[in-house]
Amino acid sequence: MKAMKNLSRNTVLLMVGYVVLKWTIIISAGTYLYSSGNWRNEYFLVFPLLAVIVIGIKNRKRLFSKKKAMEENAQDR
């Protein structure tokens, strides 16, 4: 809480302005794409799907690298 007291009024206004501007742009772009027929709500499923794929690939690589390291360590003994 001590860090929050050190924030100046200008910093808080800048942060609030950033959030308002960001959401205004997101809503405006979404409205434009939806009204022009270039957006469907099914596109929201793409982002979590890509995240699951990327995380799965990273975990799989890490699992195989750990397994390989364990096998090499076992051969050295």
What is the per-residue burial (b if ≥16 Cβ within 10 Å, else e) of 13-37?
A: eeeeeeeeeeeeeeeeeeeeeeeee
Contact 17, 11 (CB under 8 A): no
pLDDT digits (tens, 9 = 90+) for 2-59: 566 677 888 889 999 999 999 999 899 989 988 999 888 788 888 899 999 999 999 8
30 touches 39 (CB < 8 A): yes
Determine if the pTM surpasses 0.75: no
User: What residue has token string 């690589």?
Assistant: 61
- What pLDDT was estimated at residue 76? 66
